[in-house]
Chains A and B, each alone.
Chain A
């Protein structure tokens, strides 16, 4: 199988590491070779963060480069725009339709771009969701990232059952049910 390249991007603190851990666990469960690359340390403090996940028969490089990603999972709009050029032509973007102003915007030194989703739709297949709103409906706004992952799952070749098994094995015991519900919500949204 040709190596699949997935990127998970967002703002430090949004839970990109949990999402990549679920995806990583799943690729192993399915018998693939896999490499993940994460960001720790200073950049995590509210900065732009990116995680690369690559799986296939044999994976060398642990990073995804410009023009190579199959799926971009973005937990924030501006971050979707920042990394969109990593996608292949017609690649898939799943974007949480949330706006978090970066400091240059907060202090008035820069402007948060308008019409991000419309811009992205010109070149990519975009699936947007107000995942925080959906997560609040489930009773816990913190599982929003698993809802986004659920949507992205439609664009990867694993079964719903495999996803749910791996979520059960990955997330803390007390949160298994709500995370599974969150995944299913996303999986059946579009």
Chain B
């Protein structure tokens, strides 16, 4: 009997790629898809890498596919935007070895800047989408996606959501399929997407869609569960689980193929049930198509396009149940914060003191937007800090941005920030760019990147010298400063923002969670000297709190000994203690 184990959705995706005989995997980390690569790297039969961004990752996978092997790219939903350029065209050229992209949406915005629906992108790109509903299906659907990719000569997207990627469930393990590499044959009309060839391929795409719509009704990944036919529900993915919980008596059409839709199967199901509901998180992608075929159905009239669903939500909306549930007590919320000892806090406390605005970017340092630091004014997408600051300057003039900087992390700078810096210098911008270099991709849980000197496999490799790169781009003033040297940082920020020329300040200090060297000192308050002025609390370190009686204390289970609070205190009331 096959071995059964418990697996995180993302681990099951990785296992699926392994069992399918996948040989190349590329990704850029992003919650909730990150762990797919972190599990894939454990399989020596698969070459796997962190690419600098999702577009590059997708292209690496495309190249591997054209050469004849099964290949995978994985990313979060917003990563697919970055990778959409190659995606939309590889949809035309098709594949040689199977090409699969696992894309994880984030309904409920647990760790994202928007709530977009990957199925809408896939529809526009005319790429088939499969959607599993638990860890077991996560593995099986990836295997089926590779088969489908080769059978229909198309890239295939497997769509996940945060709830699936970060839930664990039972999975039955199978062996890896031994798959021969496909021979590579030069095929000018298929792989060179110049206009004349692409015209021909567009016809191929359209007939492929027709074939999938027709054949899809017989795919084993779609499942009809007839029960009481008073209520019928069309659903897919994680919402299927909520349907089973809330409506155990209903008939259910569980779609595995969500683009293109298996029309015959849906029409047949719809004809057999009295009232048809469509239960899908985020956008009404299934609903709008089904309704356009003249089928009566209820969907977003009663169900939201926002956030995650739940069984209770369906009980209320569909069953009309009045659930008398206790609600949460009115208590202070607990938003995420920068860790005690985080080097970003030190940088932001300097910017806060100088009353400087920051055009922000995507990473832990987004947390510099909230009180008490309140330094970051904008966060749009990866790399946007530098380019949006540049746009501000071009709109309002160089004096307007004298009290502005762009802040971006090292990994995000390698992702797309570097393009923006090239643009700023090329177009004679005078902005100040702060690269907060903590030697890792912090927010997603410490992944290496092109400037850390380590590969995904943990092997030593070349490390991009960020300072030298900025100089090569044409930045004449590149400063490198210890992130905790607030005095020097203050001086350098003043100098850089005053200048009528682009400048880069690289603040260096490793992520405090990454730095495994045991802390040798912590800080304590000397209550005799303490004036209780609260200056030390201005940077918002969670280790420093004020008691009811006004006394300020430093929590010894949290202090990481960074010393930022000591620099804030004018009365010498904060003192280091050496730890043995």
Contact = CB atoms under 8 A, between A and B. Distances in A.
Given A39-B110, A62-B167, A62-B241, A28 B332 contact: no
Contacts of B134: 35, 62
Contact of B371 (A39, A59, A103): A103
B167 A38 contact: yes
B302 interface: no
Contact of A41 (B5, B32, B242, B310): B32
B332 A102 contact: yes
A138 interface: no
A66 B329 contact: no
- For the complex, would chain B's binding face be called helix, strand, loop or mixed by DSSP majority? loop
Interface string A20-57: 00001100100001111111111111111000000000
A65 B163 CA distance: 14
A33 B170 contact: yes
Contacts of A156: none
B324 to A, nearest CB: 9
Nearest to A83: B328
B370 interface: yes
A12 B242 CA distance: 27
A85 B330 CA distance: 12
A136 B331 CA distance: 30
Contacts of A25: 6
Interface string B216-244: 00000000000000000000001001101
A45 B332 contact: no
Most buried by A among B35, B312, B323, B445: B312
Nearest to A12: B336
A111 B323 CA distance: 31
Contacts of B32: 40-41
Nearest to B242: A61
Interface string B514-558: 000000000000000000000001001010111000000000010
A41 B326 contact: no
B332 A79 contact: no
A172 interface: no
Interface in B298-340: 310-312, 323, 325-329, 331-339
Interface in B439-478: 443-445
Nearest to A37: B167
Nearest to A142: B557
Interface string A166-182: 00000000000000000
A92 interface: no
B364 interface: yes
B245 interface: yes
Nearest to B556: A141
A52 to B, nearest CB: 8
B332 A100 contact: no
A128 B168 CA distance: 29
B168 A36 contact: yes
B241 A110 contact: no
Interface string A102-116: 111111111111000
B336 A85 contact: no
Contacts of B323: 66-67
Interface string B137-170: 0000000000000000000000000010011111
Interface string B111-149: 100000000000000000000001000000000000000
A81 interface: yes
B372 interface: yes
Given A34-B170, A42-B110, A112-B332, A67 B326 contact: yes
Contacts of B364: 42, 45
A42 B6 contact: no
Contact of B169 (A44, A62, A83): A62
A82 B335 CA distance: 13
Contact of A82 (B110, B244, B328): B328
A24 B6 contact: yes
Contacts of B438: none
B337 A61 contact: no
Contact of B326 (A12, A13, A78, A85): A85
Contacts of A36: 6, 167-169
B379 to A, nearest CB: 12
A45 to B, nearest CB: 4
Contacts of B544: 106
Given A107-B540, A132-B557, A43 B167 contact: no
B110 A38 contact: no
Contact of B311 (A37, A38, A45, A65): A65
A155 to B, nearest CB: 20
Contacts of A82: 328-329, 331, 334
B64 interface: no
Interface in A57-105: 59-63, 65-67, 78-79, 81-85, 100-105
Contacts of B244: 60-61
Given A24-B168, A41-B111, A42-B31, A11 B334 contact: yes
Interface in A128-154: 132, 141
Contact of A107 (B8, B163, B339, B372): B372
27 contacts: A13-B339, A24-B168, A25-B6, A34-B170, A36-B167, A40-B35, A41-B31, A42-B111, A45-B337, A45-B364, A47-B335, A60-B241, A61-B241, A61-B242, A63-B163, A66-B312, A78-B332, A81-B331, A82-B328, A82-B334, A85-B328, A102-B334, A102-B335, A103-B334, A105-B545, A106-B537, A132-B557
Task: List 9 A-B pairs, minimum CB-CB distance, nearest first.
Answer: A41-B31, A41-B111, A47-B336, A110-B332, A102-B334, A85-B326, A62-B167, A48-B334, A42-B111
Interface of A: 11-13, 24-25, 28, 33-48, 59-63, 65-67, 78-79, 81-85, 100-113, 119, 132, 141
Given A42-B31, A105-B332, 16 more contacts: A28-B6, A33-B170, A35-B169, A36-B169, A37-B166, A38-B8, A40-B166, A46-B334, A47-B335, A60-B245, A65-B310, A65-B311, A102-B335, A103-B334, A103-B542, A110-B332
